[in-house]
Amino acid sequence: MRATGHNTVSISFHWGYHSPNENTIDFSSESGKDIQYMFDAAKKAGLYVIARAGPYIHADTTAGGLPGWLLHKNNLEARSGENTYTQAWIQYYAELVPIIARNQLDRGGPVIAFQIENEYKDSDIYPFSIRYMKDLADTARQNGIVMPIFHNDASLIGAFLGSKFSGILDLYGVDSYPRGFNCSHPMENFHIKTDYRSSFNRIAKYTPKFSPAFQGGAADSWGGYGYESCADMFGSEFANVFYRNNVAQKFTMMSHYMTVGGTSWGHLASPDVYTSYDNGAAISETRILRDKANEVKLLWKFLHVSPSLLNANYIADSNQYAYTNNADVFVTELRDPDTLVGYYIVRSTDTNSLDGKAYRLRIRTLEEGEIMVPYKGWLTLQHRESKIVVTDYRAGPLSFGYSTLEIYTWSIVNEKPILVMYGSFEDLNEMSIRNKGMVPHSFFKVRGDEAYENTKYRAFVTPDSNDLRLTFLLNGEEKAVIQSHDYILLMINRPDIYKVWAPSIGSEHDPDTPPESQIIIVGPYLVRNVSETDFGSALDIYGDIDLEENGGDVVEVFADDKYRIIKWNGVPMKTVRSKYTSRIFRVPTPESTEAKIEIQQLADVRWRALDSVPESSRDYDDSLWTTADKGESSNKFYKPKTSPVLYPGEYGYHTGPVIYRGHFIGSAARGARLSIFGGSGFAYTAWINGRYIGSFEGRPNVESIDEILHFPPGALSEVDDNVLVVIADNMGYEVDKGANGHDAHSMLKPRGIQLAALISSDKDEKLEFSRWTIQGNAGGETFDDRLRAPYNEGGTYAQRIGAHFETFDDSSWPIQSPLITMELGSFYSHEKGAGIKFYRAHVSIKVPKTMDVPLGIRIQARPGVRAEIFINGWQYGRYISDIGPQDEFPVPPGILNMSGDNVIAIQVWAVNDRATAGLESLEWVMYGKYLSGYGQVSHNNYGRQFGVDRLGYYSPLRAVY
């Protein structure tokens, strides 16, 4: 993030993750949940932190961050002043907020702001909402918060501002998602909002113009279009036009949601999203820089070296003044009243237009007054593009009258300024350099590592001001340099600017390093940071080379001559001096033996398999299971329709599949009616005395189902116990939807069986279940796996016995591949039929320590199949063949052991009797190969710690395979 120009990271703290049960709030290092490590990492990277403490955070997570146990408290009114909720969050704040407070800026930490709640509003929907927000702010301050407290308004309505809400907020912010969340048509609806400035002036005129969550992508849902479509919709053109529009609209603080794509591992997600939470973000879930990351880098680096823009006032725009000779081009003028620097933000009048536009721009400078530039020729907007043209701009000691090339950044090298500029070399570009008319200069065209004199340009010296005006056309070139004895202009063609980096010496621990400390580096895929070594005589550059990119190993450095040695990732480089003072070197690519990547193919390793639904048998002993014996539910909004209560959350089971066993005597029943809530995309499978009787494979946006299941003839015993077995998935608790005018109690939508009734052939006869048992994850709200608790596991048999853990002994399991086309010596064949199988294999990965190789797993299966992927104990993927869209599951290093053994486990659920509990394909996906300066991420062989006796969950049946 720091390398791409960002200076702040926003972190949401998930209450439920730290509070698996009512008596536990865990921020301990022993459990791996110590958040101090995050603050330390941010500070080391030179990033500020915005702390989003909730208690409700949304973030498309289960219950929006609230713990599962809290949702099942009697009379709960979440996100309100109701007493049960209040007492719970006060205890949570008492543990969380002092940690944040110790890391505030005034105490030497990185925290600069503190957010309470999320997109909340004063409404009759929420009882005591004002008191609730006031209590949150007061409690935060009582626990040591002195940084500004803010809230993210869902729209520009001024929520919790003004005299009515005195004492709550120090800072106003508004979230904005101008392109919405439907990624099905990425090229449509490219319309900016132009009322931010007026709305801010009306609502919060005297505070910074702040967007805590401005659109950086979109969350995709089950059955959606996939994140590559979202990446197209929110790509570099979006960042270029929409973020520069925010500059024109006078935003002064902006945080993107999201900048870095993530993973909703385990059962952390709400039903609205699937495992991937990539969002089409600038930095992908696979950790790869999309073009958008480099596009935002251009703007953020420019803002960093242009502090006068922060103070610039809105002057006018094309609605009031004719800034161009083309009505299809729109301009907004900003100007700093102190320095008189002018900023002209240029865009298409209709931002949805795909047409290129030629124009000349009318500007005002201190020396020349009002002029049209270029004097001859045209500038162009290419398709969807925006530019910032400056006037009277200073880069250290160098001053510009104007420039039609955009400014990226500047620094000081050998006591003279170097300015990095970019734009279309197909345009006739023009600039005016103050007081440099009589200063000799050289103009080079640069091709590769060679520089050639450029004679095709026009230089004019203004007689009164001694300014140097340059007009030039560089069509066909990638790079050009203008050099004199006291300045360097490095000009880059627009398509090539992404490979220019400007890390700062001393950037660790400091987000506000001055422009003069920047080192200009051209060429590599990524420059992470730079440092001085060897007592200041060496410059050490840490970065990554894309081994699959032609020419990406050539690096050019503009740095002081005091650095006699240039190092790349700690290794001294042999450099060549260019004609314009830079130094150029080629990063040695490793020999084939040194870069050898050895990854066992998933189809070739030895797999073992376990039947993971022994509970479907009538003879299964469930006497140690939880007895469902509650006659009344805590949920007053979605009450059960039959007794006993069969909501697993009432019994401490909040994640993943849950198994129900309903017992009854006699053969009078002809079927059963079931009403099940599971969330969007959920599924269930049912058996009667071991015989499959029905299922629901899941559909997008179908969160519950009411069905009648028919018992086949001869399936029931007249005298023995009959058992109806249901396994139903839990897709996570809903987020709260009250703030946007929908259901204020959506989080309380139940998971599990709302109605279970036997159906008699005699309509007057009422049949009853004699008892129900429920089994979810091992231990319920008590965990032996504290790091991954409470969201890693569900209630299937293999997970209850800990078969996903690395240390589990599967040596007694039969050999069987999950691939339905391969058996690898197994004497067990894949047969159709509803059921669950759990597959395990040891897989070796050996990646050189100098390389970064992002990996993922791709799986595909026939209809009716759901799968969960476990990597070294971590659930890192939920797959639904009938719904999709995700079939690739990136796994980061650290979760993966990149230099040794990995335990890969896959749970495959054949939901109906036409499906097979196996996969059609299973393979690694390699997203790139990079020679990296980061170093290898260590894999912590994290084992279970304490709490649950897994032996108690082993099946009492003789045969479980």
- Segment 352-372 shows an average pLDDT of 96
CA distance 774 to 654: 12
pTM of the model: 0.96
Quick one: CA dihedral 11, 701, 697, 649, positive or negative?
A: positive
Instruction: Indicate the pLDDT class of residue 88, thresholds 50, 70 and 90.
Output: very high
**Residue 924: strand pairing partners:** 857
Q: What are phi and psi of 164, to 5 degrees?
A: -65, -25
| Helices vs strands, H then E, count in the chain | 10, 56
Instruction: Indicate the pLDDT class of residue 507, thresholds 50, 70 and 90.
Output: low
Instruction: Indicate the pLDDT class of residue 592, thresholds 50, 70 and 90.
Output: low
Checking if the pLDDT of 541 tops 90, the result is yes
CB-count exposure of residue 634 (10 Å: 0-12, 13-18, 19+): middle
What pLDDT score does 525 carry? 97
What pLDDT score does 952 carry? 82
Q: Give the CA dihedral 538, 543, 547, 549, nearest 10 degrees.
A: -100
Checking if the pLDDT of 593 tops 90, the result is no
Instruction: Indicate the pLDDT class of residue 956, thresholds 50, 70 and 90.
Output: low
User: What tokens were used for 876?
Assistant: 């890192």
CA distance 723 to 717: 10
* Interval 389-430: pLDDT, tens: 999 999 999 999 999 999 999 999 999 999 999 999 999 999
Of 359, 371, 360, 329, nearest in space to 346 by CA: 329
Residue type, 413: V
Checking if the pLDDT of 825 tops 50, the result is no
Checking if the pLDDT of 961 tops 50, the result is no
Rounded percentage of the chain residues whose pLDDT exceeds 70: 97
Quick one: CA dihedral 135, 138, 144, 149, positive or negative?
A: positive
**H or E segment and range at residue 232:** helix 227-233
Contact by Cβ (8 Å): 576, 554: no
- Segment 725-752 shows an average pLDDT of 91
CA distance 493 to 429: 11
What pLDDT score does 935 carry? 86
